[in-house]
A and B are shown apart, each in its own frame.
Chain A
């Protein structure tokens, strides 16, 4: 502390008094953010955490077969387990049967190894005939699979509380019986196709949006205000219009008897009998998504192009550059931040698109989001839906992080 301290009016050193004031302001700012922060934390961030948790949670079966797994702990898996394992299994199954909840473990075990379904069902049916003692023999008598080591190894493999098997399934991989990770059978490798298709659609939609948005953003940025405001409506009206309305207009346009097909027939590209399928496939997904996401590319490009002074291009020309050279060397590099912002935004939105592919995509045009929805609503494999969701989330958050580094999230502009 220096000798000549400046004091504020109430005798406190100025430095200290300033610090107190700053701290007060800091607390005030934090308190203002706090309500929304906690709201998002409780109703949004925690639930997403819970989803992550569900994707690896495998405790259901552990809870239902506690004695079996307890007895299996020191079993090495090489030969058939000892009597106490079968005794544990008998106790657990009796308990489950009494409470009528054995159906739950059947699905889980059958997923681990097919053949468990009939095995458990038959065993549960015959439980009442069991006598005390020598359970191992009795189990094998009920069903010979209880004497096959592979089934008991598979049973033991389900004992850990946590499992990343759902993630493996999302990548078309699984555990074999020795816990090695292998690819699933050729005809069941559907998720790789889905991921690739999702990435492909997102990538090409981004490219199409860029190609279409660049010239019109340039036009909007260079036209006099009174014209550009009018044309801007063409960009903003779709932006503000309901997604379902826009999707339904594409369904009208692309249907087999729709205007676009009429045009194709009229031009003579196809005959009236075999009109091309424009909808319920990947073409429909591409066209509709490109149009729907186009404003998200135009707006950032426009706001960047608006700041580029026209005198720069004139300077380029006066120094002898052809319009083309001036464009490539001067104008284009200046628009790169806008291209980055728009492309990342469109890509992020496209990769998680659900409604449009579900309505115009059909089976061959459906994306990963549609699969998540299917497992949430139809197959009810919530753990798998959570695992796919988490994988998608990681991808999106990575791009979001890049976006934040490159563009800065506070630079997002709306309308």
Chain B
């Protein structure tokens, strides 16, 4: 953002002040995440930057907390990771299927009361999690699914579907319906048309919705706090428990792994978004 040479001094000052302020805000957004990375390699047991670390002395760094995370005898991270992955996997599949199918119906111009249905189906995203958690807990306790994987998966499907509905509906707004009519006129049945024509075209939206659903489930803690028993503990629950007791370097190691994971998810989501825009011919 170079300024033209004839810019008066006061505008120049204003402009650079503005850029500095923006820089500070970006720093505020991103810096907290990077505090965790070095601390997870701390050789000491405390959560602060030791003198050795600041001097970049190799002795100040170690991988012991990662070892502790994986091999530690008392550490529940293995079970938690397994549970988190199982729950997130099934919740993602459930949300993606239900959400995509519903989005197809919602995007049809024949759908009656579209706005009302949309508002209802999106509501789990808006209603505070503590309320969803309370209500779902009462329900699951009543039907005997509290403290089971099934109960948690069902509640995560609910929390994940709004994201799928939103992303798939967004992909469908630019959708050219004449291609499905063309397929139909060539003798394809609706299921075949969906599998061969519609689905490949809306795939970026479906996958990005699935990513949202996965992250929602993988990161969800409030509802699981209500529903989970000891057997159903997940990574967020273990982090929650750990953070309530005290900050430990092992938690920093887990957090670092989660940051790496979210970076990967961000990259794939971004690539998908661009692909989707290209497919729909939206130029920016």
Query: By the criterion CB–CB under 8 Å, are B102 and A237 in contact?
Result: no
Whether a CB of chain B sits under 8 angstroms from the CB of A267 is: no
Whether a CB of chain B sits under 8 angstroms from the CB of A241 is: yes
Which residues B82-127 have CB closer than 8 A to chain A?
Answer: 98-99, 101-102, 104-106, 108, 110-112, 115, 117-124, 126-127
Give bound CA distance, A129 to B33, whole Å.
Answer: 71
Query: By the criterion CB–CB under 8 Å, are B33 and A238 in contact?
Result: yes
Query: By the criterion CB–CB under 8 Å, are B102 and A223 in contact?
Result: no
- What is the distance, in angstroms, from B124's C-beta to the closest C-beta of chain A? 6
Query: By the criterion CB–CB under 8 Å, are A396 and B139 in contact?
Result: no
Give bound CA distance, A34 to B225, whole Å.
Answer: 30
- What is the distance, in angstroms, from B88's C-beta to the closest C-beta of chain A? 12
Give bound CA distance, A28 to B169, whole Å.
Answer: 17
Most buried by B among A47, A306, A400: A47
Chain B contact residues, majority secondary structure: helix
Proximity bits, B144-167, A CB within 8 Å = 1, else 0: 000000000011011001010111
Residues of B within 8 A of A247 (CB): 243
Query: By the criterion CB–CB under 8 Å, are A245 and B136 in contact?
Result: no
Whether a CB of chain A sits under 8 angstroms from the CB of B69 is: no
Chain A contact residues, majority secondary structure: helix
Query: By the criterion CB–CB under 8 Å, are A25 and B119 in contact?
Result: no
Query: By the criterion CB–CB under 8 Å, are B128 and A40 in contact?
Result: no
Query: By the criterion CB–CB under 8 Å, are B22 and A219 in contact?
Result: yes
Q: How many A-B residue pairs have CB under 8 A?
A: 270
Query: By the criterion CB–CB under 8 Å, are B118 and A410 in contact?
Result: yes
Residues of A within 8 A of B247 (CB): 248, 251-252, 255
A32 contact from B102, B124, B212, Cβ within 8 A: B102
Total interface residues in chain B, CB < 8 Å: 92
Residues of B within 8 A of A306 (CB): 284
Whether a CB of chain A sits under 8 angstroms from the CB of B71 is: no
Which residues A281-316 have CB closer than 8 A to chain B?
Answer: 291, 294-295, 306
Proximity bits, A209-249, B CB within 8 Å = 1, else 0: 00011011001000101000001011111101111111111
Residues of B within 8 A of A51 (CB): 131, 134-135, 138
Sample of 19 A–B contacts (CB below 8 Å): A35-B102, A39-B157, A43-B155, A48-B127, A50-B139, A216-B26, A219-B18, A234-B26, A241-B262, A248-B243, A252-B35, A252-B252, A294-B25, A352-B128, A352-B129, A352-B131, A389-B134, A392-B130, A393-B131
Identify the A interface with B (CB < 8 A): 22, 25-26, 28-37, 39-40, 43-48, 50-51, 54, 212-213, 215-216, 219, 223, 225, 231, 233-238, 240-253, 255, 257-259, 291, 294-295, 306, 323, 348, 351-355, 359, 369, 372-373, 376-377, 382, 385-386, 389, 392-393, 396-397, 400, 404, 408-410, 412-415
Sorted nearest first, the 8 A-B pairs with minimum C-beta distance are A352-B128, A32-B105, A47-B139, A33-B105, A36-B102, A29-B108, A47-B135, A25-B110
Contacts beyond the supplied A33-B102, A233-B30: 6 A-B pairs with Cβ under 8 Å: A28-B110, A32-B101, A50-B142, A216-B25, A249-B33, A413-B170
